[in-house]
Structure 1
Amino acid sequence: METTEETTSLKRVFGLTTLVIYGVGDILGAGIYAVVGKIAGLSGGLVWASFLVAMSVAALTALSYAELGSRFPLSGGVACFVHRAFRTDWLSVIVGWLMFCTCIVSMATLSKAFAGYLTTFAPVFPDWLVILALFCGLAFVNFRGMQESSNLNIFCTTLEVSGLLVVIVVSVLFINGGAANPAAMAVPVVSGQAMWIAIFQGAALAFYAFIGFEDIVNVAEEVKNPERNVPRAILLSLGIAGVIYILVSWLATQVLSPTELFASKAPLLDVVLRAQPNFPGVVFTFIALFAVLNTALLNFITASRLLFGMSRDGLLPAWFSKLHGTRATPYRTIVVILPIAIFLALSGTLQFLAGTTATLILAMFCLVNLSLLIIKRREGDADGFRVPFIFPILALVSNLVLISFASKESHLLAAAFTGLGFLLVLVRKAFMKQNVT
C-alpha cells in the first residue's frame, strides 16, 4: 500500500563491496577518458608522473576523509565536517555551495560530452534534446532510490573498467609486438626545474580525474556499518583507481606521442585504434558513453544528498530536507537541481570548468584538513579509523601546492563561484533576520 507520509531516515543499502564499486565508478568515470590527452600536452611523456603526484596528494586528503567519515557518518560531507570544526554557519554554507557548484557544473559538462558522443553516431538528434533526455533519465533513477542507482552504477562501472582493460591489453600487445612509436616513447627534452613544473602543472589537471572518493561520505547514512566501511571504501577506491590511471597513462604515451594525445578529442579511443586498428571503434565509444553517464549520475546523487544534509543541519531551509514517503529519497533537492543543471548544460560557457572544478575541490580539501586538525586538537582521538596528526598537515600543504600550479582562468572562475557563495550567505542572513523580526 502506497503512502504519502514523509520518512525521516535514509535506507542503508550499501555494503563494503558495493560501496567500493560506487567509489571506483565515481573516480574512474569520465575523467581518464577525457583529460589524459590534455595532461600529455603539459607533461609530455611524463604524464604518468603527473598522475602519480595527483594520486599522492589525493591519498593524503583521503586519509583525512577516512577519519572524518568514521567520526561523523552523516550526509552532507565536507559541509558537516567544516561546521563541526569551525562551528560557523556561514563558512559551512559557502563550502557546501562550492561543493554543490562542482557537482552541478560537472553534471552539465558531462552531459555535453555525452551528447557529443551520441550525436557522432546519431546526428539526427540535436544536442539539446539529448541533454534534456539524459537529465530526465538521471533524475528518474535518482528519485527511485539508491538501490536502483547502485545497480545502474555497478553496470556502468563494469563497462568503465572494461574499457580501460581494453586500453591496457591492446597497448601491451602493441608494445610487445615491437610496434611502439619511438616518438611516442620519447621523454620530453626537459630537466630540472622545467621538468618538475611540467609534472606539477599536469598534476593540477590530473587531480580532476581523482575527484570522487570524497563523495563516499555523502552517502554514509545509506551504508551498513559506516564507521568501518566508509574509511575502507575511500582508501580502496582511490588505490584501485590510481593504479589503473598510472598504468593506462603510461601505456597511452607508448602508443601515441604526447602531441597526438593532446590533439585528440577522444585520446583513449585513438590509442585503441592505433594499437589494434581492427577493434570496433563503436564498441569503445559505447563504453566511453556509459562512463560519462555513470559519472553524471553519481554527481547528481552527491548534489542531492549534499543539499539534504545541509538542510537537515539548519544551513539551508528545512524544505530541502523532506524525503519522499515511499522512495525515502530527497525528491525536493532533485527537483531543484534538474533545471539548474539543464540551464548550465545549454549555456555553452563551460570550457575551463575541468580545471576550475579541480581548483575548487582542492580549496575545499584544504578546509577539510584544517577541520580535522581542529577536531583532533579539540576532541582528541576516539574509537574508529584514526590517522597521525602529521598527515592532515601534509595534505593541507600539498593541496596548496597543486592550487598554485592551476591555470589563472581556473583561479578566476573559482573566485567567481566563491563570490556567489558569499552572496548566498548574505541573502540567507537577511532572510533569517527578517524571520526573527
Structure 2
Amino acid sequence: MSRRSGPDEGRAIGMSVPQPQPQPAGAPKKAMTVLQASFIGVGAMVGAGIFALLGAAGAVAGSAVWLSFLIAGMIAALQGYSFAKLGSTYPSSGGMLAYLAKGFGEGHITGIVSWLFYMTGAIVAAMVATSFGGYASAVVADDDPVWAVVFAVLLVLVMTTLNIVGSSAVARVQSLIVKIVLAILTLFAIVTIVNFDPTLLDPAGYPGLREIISSVALTFFAFLGFGVITFTAKDLPNPARQLPRAMYLALGVATAVYVGVSLGVFGTLTAEQVVEYGATALAEAAKPVLGEAGYVLMVITALFSTAGAVNASLYPSAGMTRHLAEVGQFPTAFGRNVGKRAPVGLVVMALITIFMIIALDLNSIASLGSAVALLIFSAVTVSHFRTYKETGASLIVLIIALVATLGTFVVFTMTTLVNEPKTAIALLVILTAAVLFDVLWKRARDRGKARYSRHPDTQPE
C-alpha cells in the first residue's frame, strides 16, 4: 500500500476524503464551538492529575515543580502543533488514529496503536473515576471503600448516558464543569500567590537539572488529555480552522493553570509538606488563606474536575471505534449501536472501565496511561514524517517533538517503571494484548473475505 493516501485511495480503503468538504445547503449545523472543543481537552487534562501529581512530582523536583509543568507544557505544545497540522488537513472522527493511518496505512501498526489507545482510554477513565469515588466517599461516607467503588461506577454510568445523548450534551456539560473548575483553581492560584512565602520558591533551593527533567515524565501525565480534542473534528463546522485553535487554547489554559497552582502550593507549603499531604495538598494549601472553607472548596473542585475528566475520556470512544470499524481495523460490531442510540464502542469502553474499577488496584498502575500515551504520540509523529509536505508542517519542529516525547518516555522508564514492577508488567501485558487483538481480528476478517470471494451469496464477517 502506498504510504500516502490521496482522495481516491482514501475512498478505496473506506476512509473519508482528506480535504474538508462544505456542508450542503440546508444541512444542520454542527453544534460544537472552538471553546467547547477546547473545554473537552481542558476537562480531560485538568482532572485528577493536578490533585494527584503534586506530591509525586514534589518528591523529585521539590519546589521547582512549576518549572517541570512548564517544560511538560512545551513538549505537549510540540505534539499539539503536529496534531493541529494533521487535523487541519485530515479532519476525521477517527482523530489521531486517522492521522496515523495517513502515514502507515491501514496495516498492523495502525491497528495495534488503535487498540492501545482504546484500552488506555478505559484505564485512564477508571483511574479518574476511582479518584472521584474516593473524594465522594470521604465527603458523605467516612471513606468507606465500598461506597468509593459505588460512586465511581455511578459516575461512569452517568457520563456514559450523557455521551449517548449526544455530543452537544457532552459539550454543554463539559463547558459548565470546566468553567467551574477553572474559576476555582484561578481563585486558588491568585490568593495563594499573593500571600506566598518567596523564600519557599527560592531557586537556590531547587534540586539539580537531572531531577527537574526526571519530574517532567510525571507532570507530562497531566497533559495527556489534549489528544482527545482531535476527535472533535466530526462535531466542528470548520475543523480545518477550528481544530488548531481549540488545541492551542486548551494547552495554553492547562499550562497556565498548572504553573499557577504549583506556584501557589509550593509558595505556601514546603516541599516536604506537599509530599506528605499528597492528593490533598491543594486543599491544605488553601487553608492558611481561606480557612476550612477553602479546604471544602478544593474538595468540591476535585469532584467536578474528576467528573469532567471521565466525561472527556469516554467522549472519543464512539466516533473513534465507528471509524475504525469502517476501515477494517476493529470488528464491524463496533460500528453499530446497542438499541437505537448507544454506540457499541462507548458501551464496551464503559463496561471495561467499570470492570477495572471493581477488579483492579489502579493505584499500582497509575503510571501506565502516561507510558502508553507517550508511545502513541511518538507513533503519530513518526507517521507525520511521511505526510508533512501535505500538511505543511515544519520537519524540524516534528523532529524536536519526537525527540522530546521519546526522551520523556526514556526518562519515565528509568525513573518510574524501574521502581514500579507492577506498572512495568502491566505495560507489557497491554502491549501484548494490543498485538494479539489486532492479529486475531485481522485473521478472522481476512478469512471472512476469502470465504465471501469463494461464495458471493454469503456475507463476509
Scaled by the length of structure 2, what TM-score is found?
A: 0.84
Tell me which amino acid in the other structure corresponds to 1:156.
Answer: I
Counterpart secondary structure, 1:13: coil
Letter in 2 for 1:402: T
Q: Which amino acid aligns with 1:251?
A: G
- The match for 1:310 is 324
Letter in 2 for 1:120: A
**Cα pair 2:41 2:312 within 8 Å, conserved:** no
Counterparts of 1:395-434 in structure 2, within 5 Å, are 395-406=401-412, 407-408=416-417, 409=420, 410-434=423-447
Deviation by residue 1:168-197 (Cα, 9 ceiling, x = unmatched): 12203422xxxx285x43557566xxx122
Q: Which of 346, 353, 357 lines up with 2:369 in the alignment?
A: 357
Residue-by-residue CA offset, 1:115-173 (whole Å, 9 max, x unaligned) = 11111121177223212221211111111001111111011101210221132122034
Structure 1 residue 277 corresponds to structure 2 residue 291: yes
Identity %: 24
Of 276, 281, 299, the residue aligned with 1:263 is: 276
Secondary structure class of the residue paired with 1:171: helix
* 1:132–1:24 Cα change, 3 Å: closer
CA contact (8 A) 2:64 2:201 kept: no
Q: Does residue 353 of structure 2 align to residue 341 of structure 1?
A: yes
SS for the counterpart of 1:351 is helix
Q: How does 1:111-122 map to 2 (within 5 A)?
A: 111-122=129-140
Q: Given the superposition, is the C-alpha separation of residues 374 and 258 from structure 1 closer, same or farther in structure 2, using an over 3 Å criterion?
A: same
Tell me, yes or no, if the aligned pair for 1:10 and 1:221 is still in contact at 8 Å: no
Q: Secondary structure at the match of 1:277?
A: helix
> What does residue range 54-73 of structure 1 map to in structure 2 within 5 Å?
54-73=72-91
Matched, 1:161 2:182: yes
| Inter-CA distance 401–163: structure 2 relative to 1 (3 Å threshold) | same
1:30 offset after TM fit, Å?
A: 2.3
| Of 67-76 and 402-411, the range deviating more from structure 2 | 402-411
State whether residues 45 and 253 of structure 1, in contact with CA within 8 Å, keep that contact through their aligned partners in structure 2: yes
User: Quick one: which of 145, 149, 165 aligns to 2:170?
Assistant: 149
Matched, 1:209 2:222: yes
Moved more, 39-48 or 405-414: 405-414
Residues 128-277 of structure 1 mapped to structure 2, 5 A cutoff? 128-175=149-196, 180=197, 182=199, 184-187=200-203, 189=205, 195-264=208-277, 265-277=279-291
Take 1:322 and 1:188, find their aligned partners in 2: how far apart are those partners? Answer: 59
The alpha carbon displacement at 1:275 in A equals: 3.3
* Structure 2: gaps of 5 or more residues: 1-15, 17-26, 452-461
Which has the higher mean CA deviation after the structures are superposed, 25-34 or 152-161?
A: 25-34
Partner of 1:291: 305
Aligned-CA RMSD value: 2.3
Deviation at 1:326, TM superposition (A): 6.8
Give the drift of 1:316.
Answer: 0.9
Distance 1:44 1:426, change over 3 A: same
In structure 2, the partner of 1:4 is: none
**Structure 2 CA distance for aligned equivalents of residues 338 and 210 of structure 1:** 22
SS of the aligned residue for 2:251 comes to helix
Structure 1 stretch displaced more, 12-21 or 111-120: 12-21
Deviation digits for residues 308-341 of structure 1 (CA, Å, limit 9, x no counterpart)? 22112221122211358975xx622222122211
User: For residues 140 and 86 of structure 1, what CA distance do their matches in structure 2 show?
Assistant: 35
What is the distance in 2 between the residues matched to 1:31 and 1:414? 20
C-alpha deviation, 1:363, in angstroms: 0.8
Q: Deviations over 1:53-103 (max 9, x none)?
A: 111111111100001111111012222122121114211111111111221
Please report how far the alpha carbon of residue 352 of structure 1 lies from its aligned counterpart in structure 2 after TM superposition: 4.0
- Tell me how far apart the structure 2 counterparts of residues 187 and 412 of structure 1 sit (CA, whole Å): 38
Distance 1:242 1:280, change over 3 A: closer
Distance 1:107 1:28 in 2: 13
Paired residues of 1:85 and 1:371 also in contact (CA < 8 A)? yes
The answer to whether the 8 Å contact 2:124/2:369 transfers is yes
8 Å CA contact 2:94–2:320 kept in 1: the answer is yes
Query: Structure 1 stretches of 5 or more lacking a match?
Result: 1-7
The structural deviation recorded for 1:432 is: 2.1
Q: Distance in 2 between matches of 1:11 and 1:268?
A: 41
Task: Give 2:36's aligned residue.
Answer: 18
Q: Is the 8 A contact 2:331 2:441 kept in 1?
A: no
How many Å separate the matches in 2 of 1:117 and 1:254? 25
**Counterpart of 1:368 in 2: which secondary structure?**
helix
Deviates more, 1:360-369 or 1:301-310: 301-310
Alpha carbons of structure 1 residues 10 and 297: separation in structure 2 relative to 1, 3 Å: farther
In the alignment, the residues of structure 1 paired with residue 285 and residue 206 of structure 2 have an alpha-carbon distance, to the nearest angstrom, of 25
Contact 1:78 1:96 in 2 (8 A): no
SS in structure 1 at match of 2:443: helix
Equivalenced residues, count: 414
- TM superposition score normalised by structure 1: 0.89
- Structure 2 partner of 1:5: none
Tell me the amino acid that sits aligned with residue 95 of structure 2.
Answer: G
Please tell me whether the aligned partners of residues 304 and 334 of structure 1 are also in contact (alpha carbons under 8 angstroms). yes
Distance 1:398 1:321 in 2: 36
What letter is aligned with 2:333? W
Amino acid at match of 2:168: Q
Which residue number in structure 1 is paired with residue 4 of structure 2? none
